[in-house]
A and B are shown apart, each in its own frame.
Chain A
Amino acid sequence: MTHQRPDRSTDPGLLRPFVVTRGRTKPAQATFTLITQVMAIAPAPADGLDPEHLAIMRLCAGPVSAAELAADLDLPPGAVYVLLDDLLRQGLIAVQNPRPTDHDDVNTFKAVIDGLRAL
């Protein structure tokens, strides 16, 4: 799940994220956030996907956030969003963004408080 990573502040390594997205810096269609939930809903096809796509498919067998995928893949969130957009358009993953109404429901707050108390 976690691994040691190089320190980007001294070794920028800025090229690779753009290479894995084939130069794209923005998702073509969908909107993603750091806490957008992602889950695989179909098996990865035998060919046609890049290694980073396949890595995402392995990591999101259960629901996981875009930020966790970025950390695990050692890629900037912006690059992960592009890859997720590819998978979404191929029908391989489902995504769920936080809804503005999530914070309107007192039950959400109560559930979070109860969950924290149970820690």
Chain B
Amino acid sequence: MASAPFDQRMPIAIKIVIAGGFGAGKTTMVGAVSETRPLRTEELLTDLSVGIDDTTGVSGKTTTTVAMDFGRITLGSRHVLYLFGTPGQERFWFYWDDLAQGALGAVVLADTRRLADCFPSVDYFERRGTPFIVAVNCFDDAPRYEVDEIRLALQLDPAVPIVLCDARDRASCRDTLITLVDHAMKRKQPHPVA
């Protein structure tokens, strides 16, 4: 399949992952910038793939669903961008590999009221080598910090961009995505453009 000739009738599909802790605004961001309200898919997982679940005391085969919200943005006639929110439950970590596979990059949404919630996402994309940025979702009642303070708290590589955003705001989400794609592009180039 991978070597099949490219079919000009179909657009090039690009995937960006929106990650972050529970309630950080993942689905809000997907909805704010997508063409339609967020769509949802639910994959079925059998006990073979949910091996890290504690099924002690549960007899027989277990089946679980893992839900993902996603949205679509048509970019001209040749490209279509899909945004996938990561499943919130940490026991679905293994499913993140499916999502991260082939992704152009990831936005890690951070909530300054619960900054630690985004640590696992940052760790995950660092380890995997997926280009990512941190977007601080500026909730109305959340404490405001300087970007440098957040970088220090996250022990983030200086090369990883941090942006402030409002996940409810279309333009803000669009600018966040542009920052990510620009960051991912620069990582591809051996010599950074000044």
Contact = CB atoms under 8 A, between A and B. Distances in A.
A115 B43 contact: no
Interface size class of B (residues with CB under 8 A): 35 or more
Q: Which of A77, A100, A103 has the most CB of B within 10 A?
A: A103
A76 interface: yes
A16 to B, nearest CB: 10
B107 interface: no
Interface string B80-91: 111010000000
B72 A106 contact: no
A97 B2 contact: yes
B63 to A, nearest CB: 5
Interface in B65-83: 65, 67, 70, 72-73, 75-76, 78-82
Contacts of A94: 7, 9-10
Contacts of B4: 96
Given A72-B39, A78-B44, A108-B79, 9 more contacts: A12-B65, A34-B70, A68-B72, A71-B39, A76-B43, A78-B43, A112-B14, A112-B104, A113-B178
